[in-house]
Chain A
Amino acid sequence: MGKYSIHGSDAFDSKIDAILEDIRTRVLDIFPQDKLKALILSGGYGRGEGGVLIRDGQEELYNDLDLFVITGKLKRKTCQFLTRQLTALHHELSEKHGIDVDFSPLQAYTVLPKAEQWLVWYDLKMGHKVLFGNPRILSYLPDWKAEELPLMEALKLLLNRGVGLKLAETNLKSDKPDHDFIRRNIHKAIQALGDSLLIANGLYRCSNLERMEIWQSRKDLTSQIGPISNDDNWLYNQYITSMEFKLKPCIETLERDATTKWIKETRAMFKQTYYFLWKQQASAHKYTWQENTPYQSYLQYLSKSFRVTDSIHIMLRNLLHNLKFFKGTCFSPDLYLRYPRYRLFYTLPYFLFDEEGDVRNIGFILSLQGFTSLRDLWERFLKIWYVYN
Chain B
Amino acid sequence: MASKPHARLVLISGGTCSGKTTMAKAIGKRMQELKTVILSHDNYYKDLSHLSQTEANKTNFDHPDSIEFPYLYQDVLSILKGETVNIPDYDFVTHKRSEGKMCVAGAEVLILEGIFALYYPELVELADLKIFVDTDADLRLARRIYRDIRDRGFNIDSVIEQYVDTVRPSHMAFIEPSKKNADVIISGEREFDKVLYLLNGFLLYESRRVL
Contacts and interface: CB of A to CB of B under 8 A. Distances in A.
Classify the secondary structure of B's interface with A.
helix
Interface in A348-376: none
Contact of B1 (A35, A113, A142): A35
Given A113-B64, A113-B119, A113-B121, A139 B180 contact: yes
A142 B176 CA distance: 10
A255 B142 CA distance: 72
A373 B124 CA distance: 56
A35 B120 CA distance: 18
Given A139-B181, A142-B177, A112 B121 contact: yes
A143 B180 CA distance: 10
A292 B125 CA distance: 57
A379 interface: no
A325 interface: no
A109 B124 CA distance: 11
Nearest to B122: A110
What are the nearest 3 A-B pairs in CB distance? Answer: A143-B177, A34-B1, A140-B121
18 contacts: A35-B1, A73-B1, A73-B122, A109-B121, A109-B125, A110-B120, A110-B121, A112-B121, A113-B64, A113-B119, A113-B121, A113-B174, A136-B180, A140-B124, A140-B181, A142-B173, A142-B177, A143-B176
Interface string A3-41: 000000000000000000000000000000011000000
B120 A113 contact: yes
Interface residues of A, number: 13
Interface in B165-186: 173-174, 176-177, 180-181
A324 to B, nearest CB: 27
Nearest to B3: A34
Interface string B89-130: 000000000000000000000000000000111101100000
Given A34-B1, A113-B121, 13 more contacts: A72-B1, A73-B1, A73-B122, A110-B121, A112-B121, A113-B120, A136-B180, A139-B180, A139-B181, A140-B121, A140-B181, A142-B177, A143-B176
A112 B122 CA distance: 11
B182 to A, nearest CB: 11
Contacts of B1: 34-35, 72-73
Nearest to A35: B1
A110 B121 CA distance: 6
A143 B171 CA distance: 12
Nearest to B116: A113
Contacts of B120: 110, 113
Contacts of A34: 1
A113 B176 CA distance: 13
A194 to B, nearest CB: 30
Nearest to A136: B180
Nearest to B173: A142
Nearest to B181: A139
Contacts of A35: 1
A112 B173 CA distance: 14
Interface in A120-139: 136, 139
A140 B124 CA distance: 10
Contacts of A142: 173, 177
A286 to B, nearest CB: 24
A136 B119 CA distance: 14
Interface string A55-84: 000000000000000001100000000000
Contacts of B173: 142
A270 B174 CA distance: 38
Contacts of B121: 109-110, 112-113, 140
A261 to B, nearest CB: 49
Contacts of B177: 142-143
